[in-house]
Structure 1
Amino acid sequence: MAAAAKGAVKEAPNAVHQNAILCETITKEQRHQKLYTNYSINPFRKIHVLTGKPNSIHDTEEGEEDSHFLEVIHRANQEPVKKFPFPLTESQEIGWITKPLLETDRSDRRLNFFRNNSSITKYMDAAWRDKEQRENMN
């Protein structure tokens, strides 16, 4: 079988076959093509605005604002939480919900553990501060 493969000569494709392959390729490409006619600026790129010349007539005329363009720019500059109803990536899931699970009540002793100072802790705080001051002076 290997000998038959070695001895077989590959035929050169003729013009009819090449034309059929080309036609099939073109029809596949056209099937998945879309024609875009609505062009706009990419809102995710920074726009470098240059001021006009002070004595130019064309720059002093006030133009109309494009409301759709402004909406697109403002939407692109928003936080992801305001743009999308749910996180798009795994890393966006961390911190997506920022609303606390419990309402904070500072008077509730079960959840708030404030620092209590006794006479011993006040003395040691003063001693540590005094030690740090002496070390910084040297």
Structure 2
Amino acid sequence: MTTNASREINFVHQAEIMTETIKKELRHQKLYTQYGINPFKKLCPLASKPNAEQREEEEDSMSLEPTKKYLESETENQEYGWISLPL
């Protein structure tokens, strides 16, 4: 095959290739309807409740001032009052 012939793939050839690919996939596809949980893997299948009490550590970090939470200011507005010493 020459290089020009390999470059000239028209839409009909591409459609044929796509239909062959889909037919192969459908021929070898297996439909699984029964699922099971691996008994050897320890997981909690339930999500935590959204209204459950949070840990005290998270609450403490949320109520801290930004200067105690972070080492440096994170925004430009925090820079204005970041190091505030009384005059």
- Which structure has more relative contact order (CA 8 Å, sep 6+)? It is 1
Both structures adopt the same fold (TM-score exceeding 0.5): no
TM-score (norm 2): 0.41
- Bigger Rg over Cα: 1
TM-score (norm 1): 0.27
